Amino acid sequence: MVHGMPNSTLEASPNAALNKTILPKYMDLPIPEGKIQAMYVWVDGTGENVRAKTRTLDFIPKDPSDLPIWNYDGSSCYQAEGGNSDMYLYPVAIFNDPFRRGNNKLVLCDTYKANGKPAGIHQNGISSLRPEDTNKRHSCLKAMEAAKDHEPWFGIEQEYTLLDMDLRPLGWPKNGFPGPQGPYYCGVGANKVYARDIVEAHYRACLYAGVNIAGSNAEVMPAQWEYQVGPCEGISIGDQLWMSRFILHRVAEEFGVVATLDPKPMPGDWNGAGAHTNFSTKAMRDENGIIEIEKAIDKLSRNHLRHIQAYDPKGGKDNERRLTGRHETSSIHDFSAGVANRGASIRIPRGCAEQKKGYLEDRRPSSNCDPYSVCEALVRTCILNE
């Protein structure tokens, strides 16, 4: 059971029912010298969920280019039809594996598919490849390379909600609701926060993996939490956030709990979940950078719809449920900005306004956003003037 939660809350989860004391004797078995396990991780056709599978390597990879390109069944990941199902995994980032430890690795991958007909009917036996539709990293990388002289930095505040196997927020009464929001944000106490064990396990696992996790806290709605990744420069913010999400789902799996990134998991008078994105350039961080921050906000104000479409996997449809102008959000229909204003599209932190330099916070991205799409949109609007 999760510490502090009654068994009845989790009794429907097969994972929670397993005897967790048995696995360690197998995980402690030595593996042959020179062998490691590499778990390849990728984003599936939903644009929200991750998949993973493992292969054995006879070397320890130092760089993604060391790793073999692999394939998988795209028809089982909402990315292809059965008659032309082969998809390709291109390693792009390597992390330490906090579950298997040792020299074992987690490998984040780009997804590619054959361009046209099945490869087998081509005269040369293979067709050219193109990025799969949910491979947002491909175009994001191009934008980051074009903007690299500006040294774009990002930090993303990832909010999520823990659910039981009935997909109800963990710890909530089965036939009712907890008390109104107020005591839960950064709360302490068994009647205010639930499943801190998962949060602590995730935090430590991210640090071990090499994810630049910056902190965590309980959020406004009970069973809702947040962690922050960054600052990261360029494309690495997307790589690290996606891997942190994989680790979150994997940790929650062991506890028999569901971690959802749904931006509005509970209708009514409850906070939704976002992925507030902090963004700056070198010019914004330099003396009198507030001028550059204000220029960026002006550009963002003229591209509001473009960003709304980029800020959740459904082109704004998910954020419609969250960006209502209530519960610390702006309206999805209107652009706004302000100092220390959590009800605005863009918040300038008070400290940045006083120091006249720093960064801006875009509060519009949904919790289930693709960080590559979000950060690419910010770079193209604010730096590349596209």
pLDDT in tens, 266-307: 999 999 999 999 999 999 999 999 999 999 999 999 999 999
Point out which residues pair with 107 in neighbouring strands: 40, 94
Element (H, E) at 157: strand 153-163
Contact residues for 77 (Cβ-Cβ < 8 A; gap 6+):
44, 45, 51, 87
Percent of the chain with pLDDT over 90: 89
DSSP-based three-state secondary structure for 6: coil
> What was the pLDDT predicted at 116?
63
Please tell me the distance from the alpha carbon of residue 335 to that of residue 301, in angstroms, as a whole number.
6
Q: Where in the chain is the domain with CATH 3.30.590.10?
A: 146-382
The one-letter amino acid code at 70 reads W
Neighbours of 107 (CB within 10 A): 25
Closest CA to 357 of 292, 296, 301, 295: 292
Please tell me the distance from the alpha carbon of residue 58 to that of residue 374, in angstroms, as a whole number.
37
Percent of the chain with pLDDT over 70: 94
Please tell me the distance from the alpha carbon of residue 244 to that of residue 251, in angstroms, as a whole number.
10
> What was the pLDDT predicted at 332?
97
> Token pair 């990025």 is at which residue?
131
1, pLDDT greater than 90: no
CATH homologous superfamily for 31-133?
Answer: Glutamine synthetase, N-terminal domain (3.10.20.70)
The one-letter amino acid code at 198 reads I
Q: Is the peptide bond before 91 cis (omega within 30 degrees of 0)?
A: no
> Token pair 């006249």 is at which residue?
356
Question: Per CATH, which fold does 146-382 belong to?
Answer: Creatine Kinase; Chain A, domain 2 (3.30.590)
Q: Where in the chain is the domain with CATH 3.10.20.70?
A: 31-133
| Pair 144, 235: CB distance under 8 Å | yes
Contact residues for 171 (Cβ-Cβ < 8 A; gap 6+):
5, 9, 178, 194, 195, 222, 223
Reported as a pLDDT band with limits 50, 70 and 90, residue 10 is low
pTM: 0.94
CA geometry: angle at 336 spanning 318 and 322, to 5°?
Answer: 20
Work out the average pLDDT over 123-128: 52
81, pLDDT greater than 90: no
CA geometry: angle at 193 spanning 18 and 322, to 5°?
Answer: 100
Please tell me the distance from the alpha carbon of residue 338 to that of residue 331, in angstroms, as a whole number.
14
pLDDT tens for each residue of 305-348: 999 999 999 999 999 999 999 999 999 999 999 999 999 999 99
The one-letter amino acid code at 236 reads S
DSSP-based three-state secondary structure for 39: strand
Strands 50-57 and 129-131, by their bridges, are unpaired
Please tell me the distance from the alpha carbon of residue 135 to that of residue 181, in angstroms, as a whole number.
37
125, pLDDT greater than 80: no
Radius of gyration of the chain (CA): 22
Point out which residues pair with 143 in neighbouring strands: none
